[in-house]
Amino acid sequence: MCGIVGYTGKKQAAPILLDGLRRLEYRGYDSAGLAVRAGNSLTEVVKATGKLYHLADKTDQGRSLPGTCGIGHTRWATHGDPSLINAHPHVSGNCSGSGKVESDVVGVHNGIIENYGELKEKLLRHGYQFYSDTDTEVVVKLVDYYYKKYRIGPVDAITRTMVRVRGSYALALMFKDYPEEIFAARKDSPLIIGTAENAVYLASDVPAILKYTRSVYYIGNLQVARLSPGCAKFFDLNGDEVALPVTEITWDAEAAEKGGYEHFMLKEIHEQPAAVRDTLNSLIKEGRIDLTAAGITDEIIRSLSQIVITACGSAWHVGMAAQYVIEDMVEIPVRVELASEFRYRSMPLNENTLVIVISQSGETADSLAALRLAKERGAITLAVVNVVGSTIAREADHVLYTLAGPEIAVATTKAYSAQLAALDAFAVQMALVKGTVSREQYGHMIEELLGIPDKIGRVLEDKERLQWFSSKIANAHDIFFIGRGLDYAISLEGSLKMKEISYIHSEAYAAGELKHGTISLIEKNTLVIGVLTQSRMIEKTIANMAECKSRGAYLMGITTNGNFAVEDSVNFTVYIPKTDEHFVSSLAVVPLQLLGYYTSVNRGLDVDKPRNLAKSVTVE
Ligand code: G6P
């Protein structure tokens, strides 16, 4: 959600900034802009609405903008429509569009300033004029206000602003009096700094700078950075310099490229065996599950009397699946709550409650808020996170990292699967410690888990059939995904994968619930997809599918090898390999991902960047 990039060094900045913005496209945006400066000359601002290539065309791929220092932004509209005037960068002076600007401060912002209305009034009283509807213009002008009022230099002007604003932000600013320097600050929105010889890079996420450097600083919450070619300094809210550690990124640069695939989503679907294998290998050592890296000891596990899982989107679906698995294996109450609803529930949390926050990005605003609330209420917190050093990872008591590597497509696939595998392993270990499975069962479950990556590979081999089937359903109006128990949790993810990238309306229903209303929507040829992997529920779900068929529905079923009776009841069957039924979600989800993917491709849509969506949702 909004992407920020920055560069100061010896090379021409604009092409580097455009390249960085391109790599952040997955975050979602509807307009973009650059501000670049050559030495002491005036800063030049260029903006464009729509796709990034409009901005690239306007600047001859960046070549027409001289200067070695600059900032760039892709905007996902929050305050004000996606227009040229609202696009970033914003400036402190009297200017709203593109061109050379006299202004003292130029800036870009990701996040939401909650008290921008009151700050705007204050600035209006001090003679500032506003051109856009954005909260960003207010922040840039507030920095300018303090900068001039106290004549205190950029870092202090920024810290004064940070004390005054409420909300979340990642800011990158350039000051007219400080050529070749960029100033940055953050609170609850991601921002990283990369350093290389004679150059510093700034970005919302690692893939934007991976091509240039692997040495990264994670600016802390409420910290400010002062960047000049080859040098990054950090300050706290008092303006005192702080030392931050450098993190070496281990992803190889190709991980963030398409590598011959037509879309990132297809590449990431194919990376699932590796993502799951790497994640499991980090947790399973010599036939035992070892959670010590996450700091989860047997003692902690023994002390737990309940588990609450909270997350958003697909990560919440992982929570739904984990709920069935943990309850069944460990016999402990598990509750799953949408992170955006977490604060509205009066849940009894205490030191015997483990709150698990699942998040690919580790930056989702609602998940972060839920984590903070859980800590405040005295629960033990565990983050299951993919992005190393992200805010949720840093703030949770314990972190279990998934090793999915960078995920670029907005619709998650490999991060979902890695999260699922991590939680399955976690459930197995809990079951052993709590004594609800025997050593023998434990050993068998670990073997089954370790077999999952190859089995995902086998499901992928069958993708042509799904490609063919998706061409038949590309014009569907409604699709229903149904299942019971764990199959219901998989249906939720299958339905989301379909609707978010194909724009076909779809719903997931607990199969038994259909008859309480939804069945009235079934018409001739409405597609109903049944997930049929839990042996004790298959017959019942088939019966629900038959109810749909007799009202004209067309049926597809996903089931495990050997359940050949399914074929007699549905029109199109997809088989997945057999495994312990607790872990079957990791296999059943793959055909559903492929179905969503190919349907989107067949409809000619932007698979990796579906309209209105953002990969990382950093506003509440
Ligand atoms: C967005 C993404 C989803 C993701 C959700 C939670 O909506 O499009 O794919 O599941 O955010 O993101 P997180 O980074 O917390 O897993």
What is the separation of C-alpha 423 from the centre of its chain, rounded to a whole number of angstroms? 18
| Overall average pLDDT of the 85-98 stretch | 85
Residue 260 is predicted with a pLDDT of 79
* Same domain, residue pair 239 and 137: yes
Lowest mean pLDDT among 139-148, 477-486, 514-523: 514-523
Nearest atom in ligand 1 to 364's CA: 15
Which entry of 2, 69, 312, 548 is annotated as an active-site residue?
2
* Same domain, residue pair 398 and 336: yes
* Same domain, residue pair 467 and 455: no
Q: Is 615 a residue of the active site?
A: yes
Domain count, the chain: 3
| Overall average pLDDT of the 551-555 stretch | 94
Give tens-digit pLDDT for 441-486: 999 999 999 999 999 999 999 899 999 999 999 999 999 999 999 9
Query: What are the Cα distances from residue 53, in Å, to 26, 32, 408?
Result: 14, 10, 19
* Same domain, residue pair 219 and 358: no
CA–CA separation, 597 vs 502, rounded Å?
8
Residues with Cβ within 8 Å of residue 266, at least 6 apart in sequence: 597, 607
Residue 583 is predicted with a pLDDT of 97
Which of 426, 444, 460 is a domain's end point? 460
Tell me the CA–centroid distance for residue 382 and ligand 1, in Å: 18
Residue 183's domain is classified under what CATH number?
A: 3.60.20.10
User: For residue 519, is it within any domain?
Assistant: yes
Nearest atom in ligand 1 to 392's CA: 15
Beta bridge partners of 557: 530, 573
Nearest atom in ligand 1 to 313's CA: 10
Tell me the CA–centroid distance for residue 312 and ligand 1, in Å: 6
* Same domain, residue pair 428 and 528: no
Per-residue pLDDT band for 401 (boundaries 50, 70, 90) equals very high
Q: Which domain holds residue 327?
A: 264-460
Per-residue pLDDT band for 396 (boundaries 50, 70, 90) equals very high
User: For residue 361, is it within any domain?
Assistant: yes
Q: Region of 80 please: left (phi>0), alpha (psi -120 to 50) or beta.
A: left
| Overall average pLDDT of the 565-576 stretch | 92
User: Is the CB of 617 within 6 Å of ligand 1?
Assistant: yes
Tell me the CA–centroid distance for residue 234 and ligand 1, in Å: 30
| Overall average pLDDT of the 226-249 stretch | 94
* Same domain, residue pair 108 and 175: yes
User: Is the CB of 412 within 6 Å of ligand 1?
Assistant: yes
Secondary structure (H, E, C), 469-528: HHHHHCCCCEEEEEECCHHHHHHHHHHHHHHHHHCCEEEEEEHHHHHHCHHHHCCCCCEE
User: Is the CB of 360 within 6 Å of ligand 1?
Assistant: yes
Which entry of 58, 187, 497, 615 is annotated as an active-site residue?
615
Per-residue pLDDT band for 381 (boundaries 50, 70, 90) equals very high
Tell me the CA–centroid distance for residue 493 and ligand 1, in Å: 12
Nearest atom in ligand 1 to 316's CA: 10
- In the predicted structure, residue 94 carries a pLDDT above the cut 90: no
Nearest atom in ligand 1 to 312's CA: 6
User: Is the CB of 68 within 6 Å of ligand 1?
Assistant: no
* Same domain, residue pair 134 and 194: yes
Give tens-digit pLDDT for 506-515: 999 999 998 8
The values of phi and psi at residue 485, to 5°, are 60, -135
User: For residue 619, is it within any domain?
Assistant: no
Residue 348 is predicted with a pLDDT of 87
| Overall average pLDDT of the 129-147 stretch | 95
User: Is the CB of 92 within 6 Å of ligand 1?
Assistant: no
User: Is the CB of 499 within 6 Å of ligand 1?
Assistant: no
Percent with pLDDT over 70 in the chain: 99
User: Is the CB of 613 within 6 Å of ligand 1?
Assistant: yes
Tokens of 416: 């979902």
Is the Cβ–Cβ distance between 335 and 306 less than 8 Å? Answer: yes
Residue 96 is predicted with a pLDDT of 65
User: Is the CB of 364 within 6 Å of ligand 1?
Assistant: yes
Residue 33 is predicted with a pLDDT of 96
Residue 528's domain is classified under what CATH number?
A: 3.40.50.10490
Tell me the CA–centroid distance for residue 316 and ligand 1, in Å: 9
User: For residue 114, is it within any domain?
Assistant: yes
Residues with Cβ within 8 Å of residue 86, at least 6 apart in sequence: 31, 75, 77, 79, 80, 132, 133, 134
User: Is the CB of 615 within 6 Å of ligand 1?
Assistant: yes
Give the DSSP H/E element, type plus range, for residue 356.
strand 353-359
Nearest atom in ligand 1 to 614's CA: 8
User: For residue 138, is it within any domain?
Assistant: yes
User: For residue 529, is it within any domain?
Assistant: yes
Lowest mean pLDDT among 186-190, 221-225, 508-512: 186-190
* Same domain, residue pair 285 and 213: no
* Same domain, residue pair 468 and 410: no
Give the DSSP H/E element, type plus range, for residue 7.
strand 3-8
Residue 271 is predicted with a pLDDT of 95
Residue 594 is predicted with a pLDDT of 97
- In the predicted structure, residue 254 carries a pLDDT above the cut 70: no
Residue 186 is predicted with a pLDDT of 95
Give tens-digit pLDDT for 195-219: 999 999 999 988 899 889 999 999 9
Tell me the CA–centroid distance for residue 410 and ligand 1, in Å: 8
* Same domain, residue pair 40 and 76: yes
Which of 402, 433, 460 is a domain's end point? 460
Which of 396, 429, 460 is a domain's end point? 460
| Overall average pLDDT of the 375-392 stretch | 93
- In the predicted structure, residue 617 carries a pLDDT above the cut 90: no
User: For residue 607, is it within any domain?
Assistant: no
Q: What is the mean pLDDT of the chain?
A: 93
Give tens-digit pLDDT for 321-380: 999 999 999 989 999 999 999 989 888 899 999 999 999 999 999 999 999 999 999 999
* Same domain, residue pair 511 and 376: no
* Same domain, residue pair 144 and 61: yes
Which of 361, 386, 597, 618 has the most ligand 1 atoms within 8 A of CB, as the residue to mutate?
A: 361
User: For residue 618, is it within any domain?
Assistant: no
User: Is the CB of 410 within 6 Å of ligand 1?
Assistant: yes
Indicate the length of the chain as a whole number. Answer: 620
What does DSSP assign to residue 188? B
User: Is the CB of 314 within 6 Å of ligand 1?
Assistant: yes
Per-residue pLDDT band for 253 (boundaries 50, 70, 90) equals low
Residue 252 is predicted with a pLDDT of 67
